[in-house]
Structure formats: C-alpha cells, structure tokens
Amino acid sequence: MREQLQNLIKKTLASKCKLPDDSLGFKKIDISNHNDHVFICHSNELLIDLIYNSIIDYSFNQFDIDKYPVDNLMSKALQQKIKYSQKQGLDIKIKYGFYGEVLLYSILYYFFQAKPLISRGYFYSPLTRSETSGYDSYHLAQHNDKVYLWFGEVKFKTSLYSCVTSALDGLNRALSDEYLSRNILALEEFTDRFSINGSKIESILTSWSENPCINIIDEVKKYEMTLVYPILLIYSYDSPDFEQKIIKAIECIDNHSNNTKISLSIDYRLFFILMPLEDIKVIKQRVIECIESKKPLI
C-alpha cells in the first residue's frame, strides 16, 4: 500500500472500540466468535478522497503501482478492474459494489495488518462487466507460523436493515467447505500475480494442480489455516446519538441471525466491523464526481 494512502487512512478512520464494551453499553454480537469492532469516520470529505484513491491499491498489486503512474493506473482500473461505466445513469452507478470493497481493503491492510494475497481487481472480467463473484477480500496474515485467510464481506447501504439482512443471507453459503474450496481454487490461475510469495496457499494449489482429486479443505486443515471472516457494515441509522446507532446494529444482527447455520469444518473467526455514516448516497455521488472530473490523485 502506498504511504500516501496510509496517511490518508490514518486521518480519516479510527477504531473506537471492540465489542463487548461495558463502558459504552455495547454487548457482543451473538453470532460472532471473535471481538467485533466499531469504527468512526472523522470526515466525510476525507472519506470521499479515501474511497477514490483506494481504487488503485485495491485494483493492483504493489509491483504494478511502483511501475506505472497513478493516473494511468486509475484509467486502467476503471476500464478493467472494477465495474464502472460513465455511460450509465447515476442511480445505477450508486449501486456499484466497489465503494465498500475498496474500504474493506484499506481497513484490513492498515488496521488489521492483513496484506492482500492478490489484488481483488484481478478477478474482474472486463468482457462481462459484471460484479466480481466470490469473497470481497483475499488477504493473508501470518503469526508464529499460523496462517490466517482473511476472506471477508462488505455491505455499504443507506439502510441498516438492508446491510444486515444482505450480509446474513449469504453467510451460510460463504462459511461452508464448498464455497471456501471454490474460492481457493479460483486463485490458481493468478498464482503468478500473488503479492505474497511462498505462502502455504501456493503449496495447496500446487498439490491440487498435480492431483486434482485431493480435497482442498483437507489441505487447509493439514496446513492448520484459519479462515477469518470480517463483515464490514457501513450503514445509516436515523439517530443523532452515535451509541444508539451501534446498539441498534447489534440488535438488528442478533434478531436476524437466529437461523444461521455455519457448516464450515475448519477453524474460523467471524466478526463484524460497524461503521455508521451520514449521507451515504451523497458520499457515493461525490466519489463519482471525483472519478468523472479526474480529480488529482494522491
């Protein structure tokens, strides 16, 4: 990640607390099996710049960023790495998924020290120009020889209810052996573009290439990997009180997660990152203005 972007993240976002937090009256989210996090945004203006400038680092690996001018990379990203068409109407552009995905990328990298195994932009197909399928992030972290796969999800919507239900609707599928296996196998054609060389993921993919009959989940277990599944919710809630915005989000998640049945057979950590904002639609509109006016990049 570029140093300029890291400085912008530092000025824009901050971790307020972890859940549970008795001093603020925040309980733990029932379905989480790891500490949840609450983030605050210091400035909408800075957030707009952060989303806009994060497009480059989300779309390309560092060796590409070091090689080409940022203006060229942004032009290429908008054509080949994210879903964006200047010809489409504003209502359609606001529904694009990249706004939240680039923020998830920046948050995982900067605050959780989870570096991208491969930039998410490589999965986008310019031929179909459709939203990229699969997890919203592919990051890795390693501590004391233990490997953590950070394959997360983000919802960036004006409605808290819509964020929560959309995230939970796909949770049974996302946290399953079959879905994890398919996403790991999807990495095979990109191994030459991995930003982290010599990872255990490469060993698994090499074994599978030599013997496609092996069970991917068994290989993940053999290497004692853990799936870390952060769910970033960026939402609006009609209350002037920040604490109420967090309490209502916790209640909404708890009320709609009763029927969630996680079938994943490997070790996993599931937690939420809550970030309430105002004027979400306006923020996305302003990012669009930055793109189409070709605002100078940091």
- Residue 109's pLDDT is what? 96
Q: Looking at the DSSP assignment, which residues form a beta bridge with residue 268? A: 227
- Residue 120 CA to residue 117 CA, distance in Å, equals 9
Q: What is the average per-residue pLDDT within 274-291?
A: 97
The pLDDT tens digits for 225-245 are 999 999 999 999 888 899 999
Model pTM above 0.85: yes
The pLDDT tens digits for 105-120 are 999 999 999 998 888 8
Radius of gyration of the chain (CA): 19
- Are 76 and 123 spatial neighbours (Cβ–Cβ below 8 Å)? no
Q: Is the pLDDT of residue 142 over 90?
A: no
Burial annotation 21-44 (CB, 10 A radius, 16+ → b, else e): beeeebebbebbebebbbbebeeb
Q: Is the pLDDT of residue 131 over 70?
A: no
Question: Nearest 5 degrees, angle CA 263-CA 268-CA 273?
Answer: 110
Q: Looking at the DSSP assignment, which residues form a beta bridge with residue 114? A: none
Q: Which residues 6+ apart lie within 8 Å of 157 measured at CB?
A: 163, 166, 234, 235, 280
- Are 231 and 33 spatial neighbours (Cβ–Cβ below 8 Å)? no
The pLDDT tens digits for 170-192 are 899 999 999 999 999 999 988 88
- Residue 238's pLDDT is what? 85
The pLDDT tens digits for 21-78 are 999 999 999 999 999 999 999 999 999 999 999 999 999 988 889 999 999 999 999 9
- Residue 196's pLDDT is what? 81
